[in-house]
Amino acid sequence: MSVLIIDGGIPLKGKVTAQGCKNSALAILAAAALCEDRVYLTNVPDIGDVKTMMSILRSLGYKVTWGSGLTIKPGVIKNYDLTHTGAGSIRGSLLFLGALLGRLGKVVLPMPGGCNIGTRPIDLHLKGLSLMGASLDIQGGNIVGEAPSGLKGAYVYLDFPSVGATENIMIAGALASGETTIENAAQDQQVVELGKFLMACGVKIHGLGTKVIRIKGKKEIGGVTFRISGDSIEAGTYAIAAAATRGSITVDGVDVTFLRPLLFKLQEAGIEVVVTNGHEVTVLPSPRPKGITIKTMPFPGFPTDLQPLMMSLLATAEGRSVITETVYDGRMGHVSELWKMGANIEVEGNTAIITGVEKLTGAPVVANNLRAGAALVVAGLSAEGRSVVYGMEHVMRGYSNIHQKLRALDAKVELVSDEEAVNIA
């Protein structure tokens, strides 16, 4: 177990470059299983979930190497059963459903893991792939799928604009015969980037970034060189941390389009934000934020992944804030840990009512998932005194070298093992 020791109350200052987008990388790595030639990816984030996806590709027979970029060389695919590959540990592995059904016509995949943030059903994935000719069943905790006659293009309406279901159907549609239409598709960064990757591979896609996406399938997909864009969630994390510590930082290397919902809410709370060239955001030193209301929604709404972090910021806002979570029904697990730091938060179902306090106080807290852990780091940075965040391995699933980046921004942090933390904390 990894532990982050934080001596808080120091305003962040400096500049940080966003890592490659975590969720884009996971989708693209799954889609790389479609390719019959070399794929070379740059700006891939060095995080745990990416390494798990690399391991899955190796188990399929691909040669995966990491130098200045990530190289994926196809071999003879020797496996379609992913039950012993670590695939069950991350949600992103679910995207191998579409990839292997498209490439091999069969797949066995453990039910996906990932963060414990409430119900995360896979019914939309299964429904879409079934409409494309796949036969899918849940057997012994595994998803078993076959498409002996291959996948066929279909019209798929999503009851909810699920990012994962949109991606899975896009990946499957790339090798399906005919055209696949996804209506009520997700419009998030990783969906757009997956589409750009498939298009770079020669797949024809129309409507990318809109609610209706059309994919014209190909019989074979070659290789490509592709750069993954900056992670808007990581960039948003540092922007919120700057606001929470009353600091000033610049985040570059990110498409501001996907940050606009956050930036709007920061400005509404009284935080001064400057956007430069569409790829750089500066958070300026601002007074105590004002209470605001946030409702998470699929993009272009406010991102659910930044909800826990905004709660850490608003814990010291002036007045009352209300945050309603509409995407996941169990994303309030960080509240009990923020209580330990002095936050005044009431939870009613999926709504949190936050009465801002003057300051948080450092305390030992436990991260139980990726974004909740990041929220506790933000709270620790702004709190008075020392905080000890246990369970940082969850955070490092999605943030590359977070402790080093924070140090470069003048934060006083140290990443240690839990054994070392006993002596330091």
Cα 273 from Cα 423, distance rounded (Å) = 40
Query: According to the annotation, is 370 in a ligand binding site?
Result: no
User: Contact 385/362 with Cβ under 8 angstroms?
Assistant: yes
- For the beta carbon of residue 76, count every other beta carbon within 10 angstroms: 7
CA gap 392, 2 in Å, rounded: 5
| Helices (runs of H) and strands (runs of E) counted in the chain | 14, 23
The CA-atom distances, in angstroms, between 136 and each of 68, 125, 205 are: 39, 10, 26
Three-state secondary-structure class, residue 397: coil
Q: Which of 21, 35, 115, 201 is catalytic?
A: 115
* 81 has binding-site annotation: no
Strand pairing report for 248-252 and 13-17: parallel
Between helix 189-200 and helix 163-174 the angle, nearest 10°, is 10
Say whether 23 counts as a known binding-site residue: yes
Choose among 335, 377, 382, 336: nearest CA to 361. 382
Is 305 assigned a ligand-binding role in the annotation? Answer: yes
329 is in an annotated binding site: no
Find out whether 364 is annotated in a ligand binding site: no
Residue 152's Cβ-count burial label (10 Å; 0-12, 13-18, 19+) is middle
Give the span between the Cα atoms of 93 and 116, in whole angstroms.
Answer: 16
Tell me the C-alpha to C-alpha distance, in Å, between residue 17 and each of 21, 51, 255: 12, 21, 12
**Distance, CA of 414 to CA of 248 (rounded, Å):** 21
Of 165, 197, 188, which is closest to residue 28 (Cα–Cα)?
197
Specify whether 35 is catalytic.
no
Answer for the pair 47, 400: CB distance below 8 angstroms, yes or no. yes
Mind giving me the DSSP string for 202-216? T-EEESTTSSEEEEE
Q: How many CB atoms lie within 10 A of CB 208?
A: 19
E strand map for 165-277: 179-183, 204-206, 212-216, 224-227, 248-252, 273-276
Question: Per DSSP, what are the bridge partners of residue 226?
Answer: 41
Question: Which positions are annotated as active-site residues?
Answer: 115
Show binding-site residues for UDP-N-acetyl-alpha-D-glucosamine.
Answer: 91, 120-124, 305, 327
Show binding-site residues for phosphoenolpyruvate.
Answer: 22-23
Show binding-site residues.
Answer: 22-23, 91, 120-124, 305, 327
